[in-house]
Chains A and B, each alone.
Chain A
Amino acid sequence: SQQGEEDPQALSIQEGENATMNCSYKTSINNLQWYRQNSGRGLVHLILIRSNEREKHSGRLRVTLDTSKKSSSLLITASRAADTASYFCATVPKAPYGNKLVFGAGTILRVKS
């Protein structure tokens, strides 16, 4: 089964509001990454947070990681219509689970203008 599970499955907000997506995972990890996928396009890497980091920022994105709870959250502030996409968390599990990127099922975000 896939490593990560995102919550909620779908989220609809108004432009200018903040959007928060959560990710839970099962095994110890080396790092956790968030990706965005627009309709009909490939995945784009957003941010990587290592297992010894608790918070990371990139522009309007803020990612937190709680390894004790095996969970992460992605906050998008002041959302725009262009942020409408699917967002996936992906983990790199520690050995012996394999040095590969394991994706969750994603959160579909719709930002209404």
Chain B
Amino acid sequence: EAGVAQSPRYKIIEKRQSVAFWCNPISGHATLYWYQQILGQGPKLLIQFQNNGVVDDSQLPKDRFSAERLKGVDSTLKIQPAKLEDSAVYLCASSLKPGSPSYEQYFGPGTRLTVT
């Protein structure tokens, strides 16, 4: 079974530039998550989708971050404009059970973003 795919793996941009990350979840997984993991900290949930609808985006900085999940499969996360404090690893995860994080989440390898 193929895992969660993310691209790119690494990205370096200057502040005020824009950047986009892509995620392809495990086939058949209805729920998709984006997390931000700052160095030395645990992952923090940014947004949760169930199929192509948003379940929770309460911790997404909506003035600069946006995310979408087209046709309930792939997802993109965008930052525009980027700030220095956005430097982090962005993790995508998916789970089979719709709507509940009580079940195992499968994580992708992440995208390491450096903002200079």
Is A bound to B? yes
* A92-B101, A101-B101 as given contacts; A45 in contact with B45, CB under 8 Å: no
**Contact residues of B: prevailing secondary structure:** loop
- In A1-57, the 8 Å CB interface with B consists of 2, 4, 30-31, 33, 35, 40-45, 48
Give the residues in chain B near A92, CB-CB below 8 Å.
Answer: 101-102
Out of B42, B48, B110, name the residue touching A103 (CB < 8 Å): B42
Chain A interface extent, by class: 20 to 34
Q: How far is the CB of B41 from chain A (nearest CB, A)?
A: 5
A75 within 8 A of B: no
- Does A98 contact B40, Cβ atoms closer than 8 Å? no
B56 within 8 A of A: yes
- Does B4 contact A101, Cβ atoms closer than 8 Å? no
Give the residues in chain B near A41, CB-CB below 8 Å.
Answer: 109
* A42-B4, A42-B108, A42-B109 as given contacts; A104 in contact with B102, CB under 8 Å: no
B91 within 8 A of A: yes
- In A80-113, the 8 Å CB interface with B consists of 88, 90, 92, 98-106
- Does B42 contact A99, Cβ atoms closer than 8 Å? no
* A42-B110, A45-B104 as given contacts; A100 in contact with B40, CB under 8 Å: no
Q: Please measure, in the bound complex, the distance between the C-alpha atom of A30 and the C-alpha atom of B106, giving whole angstroms.
A: 19
B72 within 8 A of A: no
Q: Which A residues lie at the B interface, using CB under 8 A?
A: 2, 4, 30-31, 33, 35, 40-45, 48, 88, 90, 92, 98-106
Q: Which 4 A-B pairs have the closest CB atoms?
A: A103-B42, A42-B107, A43-B107, A101-B101
8 inter-chain pairs at a CB distance below 8 angstroms, sorted by A residue, are A2-B44, A42-B91, A43-B43, A44-B107, A45-B104, A48-B104, A99-B99, A100-B56
